[in-house]
């Protein structure tokens, strides 16, 4: 059966309305003025041979997972969701036991890079969350580019927690700058078998044209350290600085050190198994 390609991160969202204003406190602005909906995303996927996408609700929609869950309900064979949760709110603690009972919901995506959120990793605010995610087997994607070593400490304390480090631990503040230091921090986590990494949105972190030669040795370091089974390709489409096709062909055509088996894992099989989203032949 042909390789199944899964995009590990795309934000989709609806238009801002008086009843549903965009969340502005500690949140980024929308990546573009026209919302990216699931219909447009399907067209992009179909045009590039991508079979599935993990939808990650954006910060500017607050903690609403509505648009992403709708896409998953309408197209369960194409979309699933890593939803957002307000981990600083006490009422959120009641949601974890049944989190994955929501149709299409595979886990949680957290962000610790804006506003007060970075402090939550240090002041105890997030402690309950890691405990509960491990207890209820809820996979977590974490964006914490300034605190990758801290994510390693959390994963070591919670060996049953399935933790994915977003975007190879890179920060947008590093765009056009040396990335080796950030990769040094990331590969130290490879010894922890409950940690995986999204090799996602990578053209956003360099100021050079396709095929982004600066990225090649960095990706190789990460794949060599974690193994292809724990490296998950993704685009972050609405934020992408290259074309969608270039983000894909970087892995399918340009990274000559990847074997066909490596590509199968990185481009889909790995994240399907990590998130328990069975591939068609496994269903």
Q: Residues near 163 by Cβ (< 8 Å), separated by ≥ 6?
A: 139, 140, 142, 151, 154, 155, 194, 195, 196
> pLDDT per residue over 86-141, tens digit each?
999 999 999 999 999 999 999 999 999 877 888 899 999 999 999 999 999 999 99
Task: Determine the Cα–Cα distance for residues 248 and 234; give it in Å rounded to an integer.
Answer: 8
The per-residue pLDDT for range 18-45, each reduced to its tens digit, is: 888 898 766 678 999 999 999 999 999 9
H or E, element range at 106 = strand 105-111
pLDDT band at 281 (very low <50, low <70, confident <90, very high): low
Q: Which among 12, 58, 57, 55 has a CA at the least distance from the CA of 37?
A: 12
At residue 283, does pLDDT exceed 60? no
pLDDT digits (tens, 9 = 90+) for 65-77: 999 999 999 999 9
How confident is the model over 147-155, as a mean pLDDT? 97
Yes or no: say if 29 and 60 are a contact pair by the CB < 8 Å rule. yes
Best CA proximity match to 232, nearest among 4, 64, 76: 4
């Amino acid at each position: 059966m042909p390789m199944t390609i899964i995009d590990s991160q795309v934000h989709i969202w609806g238009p801002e309305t008086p009843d549903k204003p965009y969340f502005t406190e500690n949140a980024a602005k929308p990546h573009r003025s026209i919302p990216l909906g699931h219909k447009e995303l399907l067209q992009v996927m179909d045009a590039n041979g991508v079979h599935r996408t993990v939808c990650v609700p954006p910060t500017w929609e607050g903690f609403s997972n509505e648009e992403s869950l709708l896409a998953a309900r309408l197209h369960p064979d194409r979309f699933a969701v890593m939803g957002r949760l307000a981990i600083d709110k006490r009422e959120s603690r009641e949601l974890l036991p049944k989190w994955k009972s929501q149709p299409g919901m595979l886990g949680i995506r957290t962000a610790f890079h804006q506003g007060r959120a970075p402090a939550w990793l240090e002041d105890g605010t997030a402690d309950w969350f890691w405990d509960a995610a491990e207890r209820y087997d809820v996979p977590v994607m974490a964006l914490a580019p300034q605190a990758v070593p801290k994510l390693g400490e959390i994963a070591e304390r919670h060996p049953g927690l399935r933790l994915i480090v977003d975007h190879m631990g890179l920060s947008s503040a590093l765009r056009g700058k040396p990335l080796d230091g950030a990769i040094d921090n990331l590969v130290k986590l490879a010894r922890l078998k409950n940690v995986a990494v999204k090799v996602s949105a990578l053209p956003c972190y360099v100021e050079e044209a396709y095929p982004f030669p600066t990225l090649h040795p960095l990706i190789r370091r990460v794949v060599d350290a974690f193994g292809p089974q724990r490296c998950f390709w993704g685009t972050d489409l609405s934020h992408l600085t290259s074309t969608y096709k270039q983000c894909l062909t970087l892995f399918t055509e340009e990274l000559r050190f990847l074997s066909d088996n490596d590509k199968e894992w990185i481009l889909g099989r790995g994240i399907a198994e990590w998130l328990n989203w069975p591939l068609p032949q496994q269903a």
